[in-house]
Structure 1
Amino acid sequence: MASVPPFQQAPIDATAAAAPGWRERYVQGSFRGVPFTTTDRDLSGGRRVALFEFPFRDKPGSEDMGRRAEEATLECFVIGPDYMEKRDALLVALRAYGPGTYVDPWTGEQLQVSVEDWRVTESTAEGGMARFSIVLRESGADQPIAARTDTAALARATAGDITGALPADFADRFSIDKAAGFVEEAAAELVDKAAIVAELSAASSGGLGQALRAFESGLRLLPAGKASLLRAPLALGQTLVGLVATVAALAPNPRTRMRSIEPLASFGADLKPVERSTPQRDRQAANQDAIVHLVRAAAGAELVRAAAAIAWTNRGDAGDVRDRLAALFEGHALAAADAGDDARAATFDALRGAVVRDIVARSAGLARGYSYTPRATEPALVIAQRLGGFGRTMEAMAAAIVAMNRVRHPGFVPGGSAIDVVASPAGAVRRG
């Protein structure tokens, strides 16, 4: 069967009992993803014929040079209480550079077209409606393949792979078998210290109620079974990784989770290095390094998961988090590389790469931020109206203020201190 030209509807066999009616075949029209309702469509096309008329000959000659680019004139409209937002979105699509994807309502076909002309009409007699007349011409461009990498899913997968491998790696590096008593005592003290940091982190995250009580009960059982855990390195590694994951799970949102986990990601920074003067001291130093790396890497994986769950609202906020986490992971990677442990360095390099790639991809194109200091405590919506005026973006701006500044209640944004706001067109720093 011959292919259907770009703007032409395929014929329907009138004798076919199951042939659908035109209403069933009619679909929602759109351009660059912006929908509209079409009332009329005029289609024009033809062949590019070169006509040759020779002297002293009654019959001309001709040569078919191919099909002419087809044009469609659409009469369409947008309607509803939010018609102005729909109108503005369609105008942005019509004004954009280059060809775009047009969904033809009569065929459902997706075509690459250029906008030759457009006109919009509004009237108070037809309030809540904008009528468009649009002339589209076949562009001949190939339809782009919309492919997008889910960087958040990749970041979570990287974190999961690292978390899953940590206990076995820890079991290969940690041992108190045939070790002196002080080696076991040092390892036990370090496990206690990790448990204390975890408990403080859980409390700081606001994990109150039954969840926190259950966590604390499990935490208190850890010292009781500590002696047996120290002799089962794999079980100890799994317990410590689970402890870090529990702290993360207690946080009510991704940003709180990051704040509670970051102390664990820097665990051991205040520990004095063990002098490797004897074989027993070598074992003590190796055990200390193993515990510190396990806690840091497990916390780093939770930080990557938390960052992947944040819906970024402005590029400045995303950039601050990206730089902070990248610096943390890079510091751990360099320390491991200086110690000659390439495997541990690769772990933190993988975490750094995953979080940077994800934040950069998902914050690209977002507005920049600026600082604003409200003079008094007031609702986020009032601040958004003052800075951006009334309009369709006011509520979105208020929600962004609450999210970016971790405001406890949207009706009470504290006055007297600077808050981050999505950038205005001028991008200036404003003070109340």
Structure 2
Amino acid sequence: MATFEEKLWPASFRGVPFNATASTLTIGRRTHVFEYPQRDKPFVEDLGKSAREITLTAVFAGPEYITGMNRLLEAMEQEGSGVLVHPMLGSMTVTPKATTKVTYSTTKLGFSSAELVFVESGDYVFPTSSNDTAAVSASASETLKQSALDAFLDKFDLSGAQDFVKAAVTGNLSKFFELSDYKELCRLFSVSDEMSELSAKAISLVSSDVEVFAKTVADAFGYSRLAYSVNNWRRVTRLLSRLVRSDDMNNDYQTGQVSDEEARTTAQSSTLQSLARQTLLAEAVSASAKVGGDEDTAEGGIAYEDMIAIRDQVLAALDAEMLETESDDVYLALENARAAVSDDMTTRAQDSARLITVTPPEVQPALVVAYNFYEDAAREKEIIDRNGIRHGGFVPARELKLLSR
């Protein structure tokens, strides 16, 4: 037959342990009944769940029965809500209700009991408004794309040009499609075949209607409209920012010669280069809005420092383009995009974890480090990637950069 101690249920409140002999739970829904004249059935308005009320009979037995009860009473009298670990319901946030009845008896020496009544407690929060900064960046990206396209249409003109001029212009364009960063972006977006077809189509349309040609060129650099399963937006943003500032995308086509055809080749190649660069910049602005979001999962959690570094990289690329463009509309679009990216990434970075330094006591697997620090062994890859560890089974006992949460 089970002893008295074996029948007790372990529980705690605000970290103070006690044993319980009985518990009741009161649940239901809040309602308001409307009874109308000449109607037999009332109308009942459902106002949501009622607050759960939990009653526990706490007992202390043995030499420490008074000390244990005093600690529990002190916890019950503290202001505000606390965590109750219920024997059946588990952990919940509750607030002690009304009074607690404590019983001491001369017939039961070394024993005390208390009737504890709790009410389930929620957070004291109110609806708040906030700006959708990511949507502002996405809108600024579209505006920049359109401004770049309009500026291109105003300046680009190959009508009446000799074939060798058209060949030189398209030759310069085709070099962009062979850049390693461009191909890596195609791979990340899983659109290598689609972009290859678009780039070939763009080159073949140089002699066609200029609007069709311009739209096709813009599409050949517009990755996001073909994105289906990208999960590494921070890498995409870094690549785009680096590509638009590379020497290959900022060619000086001046040859030092002054023939009309050479001047025309230079001017049209520069105009085409500006369209490509500004379209890629618009893609970077759009991608920055997804950095650190639900879709950006390939590299694990993102640190505040990473968000700020990516933001600064995009802003530097936008600043450089503002110094290059001759179009007022493009300049304003770049300026608005810069403000949108700065506001969005700075705002969202505030909620990101910080990087901290942790040194393991000895060489151990990344799985053990992840579990010891995060209590989540699945984050071992994040630790390996962030710290450039060669073998995940042997993490050296040196300083590691880890997210604070």
What TM-score, normalized to structure 1?
0.58
CA distance in 1, matches of 2:200, 2:84: 70
SS for the counterpart of 2:79 is strand
Which residue identity does 1:20 align to in structure 2? V
Task: Identify which range, 305-314 or 316-325, moves more after superposition.
Answer: 305-314
Structure 1 residue 345 displacement after superposition: 2.4
The aligned residue for residue 326 of structure 1 is: 315
Q: SS of the residue aligned with 1:20?
A: strand
Question: Where does residue 297 of structure 1 map in the other structure?
Answer: 278
User: How far did 1:185 drift?
Assistant: 3.6
What amino acid is the match of 2:130? R
**Residue aligning to 1:360:** 346
Unaligned runs of 5+ residues in structure 1 are 1-8, 29-36, 41-74, 77-115, 136-142, 425-432
Cα offsets for 1:252-297 (capped at 9, x unmatched)? 3223433443454236455224258465455334313311211111
Question: Corresponding residue for 1:386?
Answer: 372
Which stretch of structure 1 is more off in the superposition, 204-213 or 12-21? 204-213
SS of residue matched to 1:118: coil
- Pair 1:237 & 2:214 matched: yes
Q: Is the 8 A contact 1:118 1:134 kept in 2?
A: no
Deviations 1:319-357 (A, max 9, x none): 110111111111111233xxx543332232222222111
CA displacement 1:129-180 (0-9 Å, x = unmatched): 4542269xxxxxxx97621111111111111222234333312111122345
Counterpart amino acid of residue 19 in structure 1: F
Deviation at 1:241, TM superposition (A): 1.2
AA paired with 2:95? F
- Conserved 8 A contact 1:119-1:134: no
Tell me the residue number matched to 2:103.
none
Q: Deviations over 1:1-31 (max 9, x none)?
A: xxxxxxxx9974445634217xx33436xxx
- Alpha-carbon distance between aligned partners in 2 of 1:203 and 1:335, rounded to the nearest angstrom: 25
* 2:154 paired with 1:132: no
Say whether 1:271 aligns with 2:251: yes
Which stretch shows the higher mean deviation, 310-319 or 143-152? 143-152
| Aligned residues with identical type, % of pairs | 16
8 Å Cα contact 1:118-1:132 kept in structure 2: yes
Distance 2:185 2:387 in 1: 13
Stretch moving more, 123-132 or 171-180: 123-132
2:333 is the counterpart of 1:347? yes
Number of the residue aligned with 2:159: 177
User: SS of 1:146's equivalent?
Assistant: coil
**2:320 aligns to what SS in structure 1?**
helix
Work out whether residues 159 and 301 of structure 1, in 8 Å CA contact, stay in contact via their aligned partners in 2: yes
Structure-to-structure mapping, 1:96-107, within 5 angstroms: none
Count, aligned residues: 310
Letter of the 1:232 counterpart:
D
Amino acid at match of 2:278: A
Paired AA for residue 319 in structure 2: E
Secondary structure of 1:245's counterpart equals coil
Matches within 5 A, 1:16-415: 17-20=41-44, 24-27=46-49, 37-39=51-53, 117-118=79-80, 120=82, 122=84, 128-130=90-92, 131-133=94-96, 146-179=128-161, 183-197=165-179, 200-201=180-181, 203-205=183-185, 207=187, 211-223=191-203, 225=204, 228-246=205-223, 249=227, 252-253=230-231, 254-266=233-245, 268-269=248-249, 271-274=251-254, 277=258, 280-311=261-292, 313-336=302-325, 340-370=326-356, 378-379=365-366, 381-388=367-374, 390=375, 394=376, 398=379, 401=382, 405=386, 412=392, 415=395
Q: Give the partner amino acid of 1:204.
A: E
Q: Deviations over 1:171-211 (max 9, x none)?
A: 211112234555434312211112222xx335424728985
Q: TM-score, normalised by structure 2?
A: 0.61
Instruction: Give the equivalent residue in structure 2 for 1:108.
Output: none
SS state of the match for residue 421, structure 1?
Answer: strand
Change (3 A) 1:202 1:250: farther
Q: CA RMSD in A?
A: 4.3
Give the Å deviation of 1:124.
Answer: 7.0
1:402 deviates by 6.6
Q: Distance in 2 between matches of 1:414 and 1:219?
A: 46
Match of 1:111 in 2: none
- Equivalent residue letter for 2:171: E
Deviates most, 319-328 or 119-128: 119-128
